[in-house]
Structure 1
Amino acid sequence: MRADRLVSLVLLLRQRGRLSAATLARELEVSTRTVLRDIEALSAAGVPVYAERGRLGGFALLPGFQTELTGLNHDEALALLVAGSRRGAQVFGLGSALASAVLKVVDALPEGHRDTAADAARRLLIDPDTDLLSRGTAAEELPDTVAGEVRRAVFAGHRLRIHYAALDQPPKWRTVDPIGLVTVRGQGYLLAKRSGADRTYRLARVLAAEELDEPARRPERVDLDRAWQERSARFRTGGDQIAVLVGLNPERREELVGTALVVLAEETDPDGRLRMEVTFQDARHAEWALWQLAPEAEALAPRWLRASLLNRAAAMATRYGAASGDGHRRPR
């Protein structure tokens, strides 16, 4: 880890010139004290890095310094393979490897192309943290130790012990046979088998992981895209899912489709509103989804869902009705 960090430090100085200790610490995600120790280690190894004092000072390399530092390690190469999604690299614990790999790729470019490439990169924004409505889309991230154990088990074909916190259940240890890793909208999943049955685990709920020496009991080849589609289909049609009949403003259709599991039927009423039958994972999911679309969506059936939404709306009206016209709550 320190060797990779020293390489990244040299590449940062090569590509960006003089940088302060604070800037280097931020880029490398370490403390300024660690940066100073790394600078001393580079100097001791013969790398011509020097300090400039003063308010605009910092660390720099002697002009013309060249070194062969562009070889990619395994994690950096892997990070580039998933770099089509920056969030994918973050979810699988490869964010720092991706940053290091990009530095090496830029350093390998002919000198005349570096500025052009850097300017082009600044004009592209891929998968930002918010959409046009300022809704956050932050990716889940695993601790490096957990992500590393999971990745190694998947790639080596070894069994894996995970301390997993399933929804509404206390965490417990499970031994699984890992098949592959999937990221969807910033959320990561481990596809695995457990006692021969297909299982899908949310990576954010893996509290600890341990790669075992025992070979995983899994097929030698896997079509991960097909496996994910099959599991998604089973998820949408199984369990305690509920069907809901919804009256909807057509302009909000895509939002409903984006939160529902399956659209079972759809038609347009004479007044132009949509009438859609959709399924949700459970009652809580249905109530949450329709509340987000209020007042543009109406639960037409089942009755219990209408009653639940009515009670929630009444409680909200009571809460805001208790406030005076000047915005202050009336004394009780």
Structure 2
Amino acid sequence: MRADRLVSLVLLLRQRGRLSATTLARELEVSTRTVLRDIDALSAAGVPVYAERGRHGGFALLPGFQTELTGLNHDEALALLVAGSRRGAQVFGLGSALASAMLKVVDALPEGHRDTAAGAARRLLIDPAIDLLSRREVAEELPDAVATEVRRAVFAGHKLRIHYAAVDQPPKWRTVDPIGLVTVRGQGYLLATRSGADRTYRLSRIRAAEELDEPARRPDRVDLDRAWRERGTRFRTGGDQVAVLVRLNPARREELVATALAVLAEETEVDGWLRLEVTFQDSRHAEWALWQLATDAEALAPRWLRTSLRDRAATIATRYGASSS
């Protein structure tokens, strides 16, 4: 890992010129002390890196220095394959590999093309941290060590032991046969089988992981897209799903459909509003979704949902009806 970091340090200096130890530490996700040790190591290896002191000082390479250190390692090549979605690289624990790979790709370009590409890249912003309403994207948190073990087991075809925390349950160890990894809207999932039965695990709920030596029991080839769709169908039609009949302002249809698990029936009423039968994951999900739509939606059935929404609205009205102290 240190060798890869040294290569990244050299490429950063080649492409961006003089950089401070603080900037290098931030880019490489290490401490400034580590950066200083790496600079010493490069100098000892004959790389012409020098320090410029002063307020605007930093480290730089002698002009004209060339490298041939553009070969991609396995993780960097893999990161480029999923780079169509930067979120995918982050979810699978490949964020640093992606950054390192892109440095190598840029460095391999002819000098004139390199400048043009760098300028064009500054005109593009992919998946910013917040949207126009300043809502921040909630990133999945998966320790690098966990992500590495999961990836290794998936690619090597070995059994995987995971310490997994299911919803509202304490973490438990379980051994699975990994099939593949899926990322959806910044959330990562491990598709696997356990005792021959299909299982889907949220990556952010894996507290620890260990690749085992034993081969996984799984087919040699897999259609992940088909497997994901089949599991999605089972999820929408099984378990404790709740069916709701709702009357809806058509302007809010896409919002409701994006939240619901499935639309079972739909028709347009005389006044232009829609009547839909939709399913939600559970009662809490149904109440939350309808509450977001405020007066643009009316739950017609089941009765308990109407009562729950009415009681919540009455509580809010009472609170704001009282004079503030």
TM-score by length of 2: 0.98
The residue number in structure 2 matching 1:174 is: 174
SS in 2 for 1:63: coil
Task: Return the offset for 1:131.
Answer: 3.2
State how many pairs are aligned: 325
* Amino acid across the alignment from 1:166: A
Distance of 1:43 and 1:306 partners within structure 2: 72
Whether the aligned pair in 2 keeps the contact of 1:92 and 1:141 (CA below 8 Å) is no
Q: Does 1:255 align with 2:260?
A: no
* Amino acid across the alignment from 1:276: L
Distance of 1:246 and 1:129 partners within structure 2: 34
Q: 1:109-139: CA deviations, max 9, x gaps? A: 0001011101111222223333344333333
Distance of 1:57 and 1:247 partners within structure 2: 65
Q: Does 1:53 align with 2:53?
A: yes
Q: 1:229-280: CA deviations, max 9, x gaps? A: 0000111111110100111111111110001000011111111111111000
Task: Return the offset for 1:162.
Answer: 0.4
Whether the aligned pair in 2 keeps the contact of 1:92 and 1:147 (CA below 8 Å) is yes
Task: Return the offset for 1:319.
Answer: 2.2
Q: Does 1:126 align with 2:105?
A: no
The residue number in structure 2 matching 1:155 is: 155
* Amino acid across the alignment from 1:15: Q
Task: Return the offset for 1:176.
Answer: 0.2
The residue number in structure 1 matching 2:304 is: 304
SS in 1 for 2:295: coil
The residue number in structure 2 matching 1:115 is: 115
The residue number in structure 2 matching 1:98 is: 98
Structure 1: stretches of 5+ with no match in the other structure? none
Distance of 1:241 and 1:64 partners within structure 2: 65
The residue number in structure 2 matching 1:142 is: 142
Distance of 1:136 and 1:196 partners within structure 2: 39
Q: 1:151-198: CA deviations, max 9, x gaps? A: 000000000000000001111001000000000000000000000000
* Identical amino acids, percent of aligned pairs: 87
Distance of 2:138 and 2:89 partners within structure 1: 13
The residue number in structure 2 matching 1:25 is: 25
The residue number in structure 2 matching 1:198 is: 198
Distance of 1:274 and 1:254 partners within structure 2: 12
SS in 1 for 2:270: coil
Task: Return the offset for 1:321.
Answer: 2.2
The residue number in structure 2 matching 1:226 is: 226
The residue number in structure 2 matching 1:35 is: 35
Whether the aligned pair in 2 keeps the contact of 1:90 and 1:141 (CA below 8 Å) is no
Distance of 2:80 and 2:11 partners within structure 1: 17
Distance of 1:119 and 1:274 partners within structure 2: 49
Distance of 1:295 and 1:108 partners within structure 2: 57
Whether the aligned pair in 2 keeps the contact of 1:246 and 1:299 (CA below 8 Å) is yes
- Worse overlay, 94-103 or 134-143: 134-143
Task: Return the offset for 1:95.
Answer: 0.2
Structure 2: stretches of 5+ with no match in the other structure? none
Q: How does 1:230-309 map to 2 (within 5 A)?
A: 230-309=230-309
Distance of 1:48 and 1:159 partners within structure 2: 47
Q: CA RMSD in A?
A: 1.0
Distance of 1:136 and 1:294 partners within structure 2: 23
* Amino acid across the alignment from 2:286: A
Distance of 1:263 and 1:12 partners within structure 2: 51
